[in-house]
């Protein structure tokens, strides 16, 4: 069995599972947020059970529209807050919260070998820890909250091997944008993406979270990394419970094997209106921008802010550009403050936000008007994703976004750091 199959089998009453098989799986963690939880809560009430299956295995995070941007969002959060209090489940609110997919690993709530389901498509982020994590609809999450079980089809696994050493300014974001550009937004449809190779071994945890996060943008069910010393170091001070590390079998069968030599890979930029529309940054000339966003569950971790600060230090944001920086969690914000990164951003002319999903989904804190163009470290650039349907979003890593904020046009970091 592959890594994904090993984890799933361990969470069923079966010794072996195979792709295409329908199974009932025990969940280690069930997640929802201020957009999806209210729907799940409503469906949970309809089931008619009084209590969730295990309060310690259910997490709700207010992160999309918080601090509340309007009355409607305040009502959504209040519904979730009241339910969390009633049920005694794990709940993160303003002042303690963060963007869910950065917060849960940081808090040690998801660990290697877990099965994690969430009412958010980017739940696949936790695959960076060697977990099987996937997004589901709110109705499925209601059933999971009631029973602790999920019903699913075992996905086939596609193995991706990245050979070579990454160049300067090339990050996990570039690997996943390049991959999606090669295989398309349905290239891994309902499959588990397994990331391996020399470039992956050298990739820091923040870059791994980024790659797993965007597995869904290739249509994948999950995106997994094998547990190594970097994973173990990450969870060492965070884990609050026992966990199991699973390894694939030597004779594991893959649906497909895809190999890339990434030693000459440039930073990538995905043009509107698809993550698959990836190009090397050198191919974009004189593409003026109005806004740069650095943050989100994809690229709002400490290393992402460190890279952005490295580019912005001693520079000024272009007078035509709004540069918005959003730490993914309160801890990331605090660490960035202690390192002097926040001062670097403010001095450069950027604005620093409280942790929130904000502009990524066109929520708030950076909505685009018609005709405006933004470069962003977020994960999606569909039509109207960040505001007007007549605006454009370009996806990149934090270094490219920071360099572009300085020049006022999509630029390589080499242009401002050479």
Alpha-helical segments (H) within 114-171: 138-147
Token reading at 59: 């997490």
Region 10-38 average pLDDT:
96
- Give Cα 306 distance to the centre of its chain: 18
Q: For the chain, give me the number of helices (H) and strands (E)? A: 15, 18
pLDDT (tens digit per residue) in 85-115: 999 999 999 999 999 999 999 999 999 999 9
- Its CATH class, for the domain covering 270-412, is alpha beta
Share of the chain above pLDDT 70, in %: 100
Are the C-beta atoms of residues 27 and 148 closer than 8 Å to each other? yes
Say how far apart CA 221 and CA 216 lie, in whole Å. Answer: 7
394 φ/ψ angles, rounded to the nearest 5 degrees: -115, 130
Burial class (CB in 10 A: 0-12, 13-18, 19+), 251: exposed
pTM higher than 0.85 for the full model?
A: yes
pLDDT of 339 reads 97
Token reading at 281: 């940054």
pLDDT of 316 reads 98
pLDDT of 417 reads 79
Length of the chain: 418
Region 157-164 average pLDDT:
98
pLDDT of 418 reads 67
| pLDDT > 70? residue 31 | yes
Is 3-260 assigned to CATH 3.30.499.10? Answer: yes
Are the C-beta atoms of residues 65 and 97 closer than 8 Å to each other? no
pLDDT (tens digit per residue) in 111-141: 999 999 999 999 999 999 999 999 999 999 9
pLDDT (tens digit per residue) in 70-83: 999 999 999 999 99
Same fold, 3-260 and 270-412: yes
The mean predicted confidence, pLDDT, of the chain is 96
Alpha-helical segments (H) within 275-358: 296-299, 302-312, 330-338, 341-348
Domain boundaries, the chain: 3-260, 270-412
Helix (H, G, I), strand (E, B) or coil at 192: strand
């Amino acid at each position: 069995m592959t890594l994904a199959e090993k984890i799933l089998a361990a969470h069923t009453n079966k010794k072996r599972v195979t792709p295409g098989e329908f199974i009932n799986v025990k969940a280690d963690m069930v997640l929802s947020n201020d957009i999806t939880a209210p729907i799940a809560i409503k469906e949970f009430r309809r089931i008619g059970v009084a209590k969730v299956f295990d309060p310690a295995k259910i997490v709700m995070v207010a992160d999309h529209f918080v601090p509340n941007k309007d009355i409607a969002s305040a009502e959504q959060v209040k519904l979730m807050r009241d339910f969390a209090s009633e049920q005694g489940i794990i709940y993160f609110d303003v002042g303690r919260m963060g963007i869910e997919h950065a917060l849960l690993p940081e808090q040690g709530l998801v660990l290697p070998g877990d099965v994690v389901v969430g009412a958010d498509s980017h739940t696949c982020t936790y695959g960076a820890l060697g977990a099987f994590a996937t997004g589901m609809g709110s109705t499925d999450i209601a059933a999971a909250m009631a029973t602790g079980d999920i019903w699913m089809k075992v996905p086939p696994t596609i193995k991706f091997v990245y050979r070579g050493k990454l160049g300067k300014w090339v990050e996990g974001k570039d690997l996943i944008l390049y991959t999606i550009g090669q295989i398309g937004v349905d290239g891994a449809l309902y499959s588990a993406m397994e990331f391996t190779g020399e470039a992956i071994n050298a990739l820091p945890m923040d870059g791994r979270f980024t790659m797993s996060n965007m597995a869904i943008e290739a249509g994948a069910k999950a995106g997994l990394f094998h547990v190594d010393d970097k994973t173990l170091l990450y969870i060492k001070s965070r884990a609050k419970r026992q966990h199991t590390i699973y390894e694939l079998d030597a004779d594991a069968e893959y649906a497909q094997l895809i190999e890339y030599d990434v030693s000459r890979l440039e930073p990538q930029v995905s043009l509107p209106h698809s993550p698959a529309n990836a190009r090397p940054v050198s191919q974009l000339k004189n593409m003026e921008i109005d806004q740069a966003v650095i943050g989100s569950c994809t690229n709002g971790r400490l290393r992402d802010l460190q890279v952005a600060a490295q580019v912005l230090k001693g520079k000024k944001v272009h007078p035509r550009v709004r540069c918005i920086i959003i730490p993914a969690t309160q801890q990331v914000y605090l660490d960035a403050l202690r390192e002097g990164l926040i001062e670097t951003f403010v001095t450069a002319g950027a604005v620093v936000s409280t942790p929130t999903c904000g502009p990524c989904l066109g929520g708030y804190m950076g909505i685009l008007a018609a005709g405006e163009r933004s470069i962003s470290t977020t994960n999606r650039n569909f039509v109207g994703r960040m505001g007007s349907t007549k605006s454009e979003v370009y996806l990149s890593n934090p270094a490219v976004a920071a360099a572009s904020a300085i020049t006022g046009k999509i630029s390589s970091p080499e242009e401002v750091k050479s």
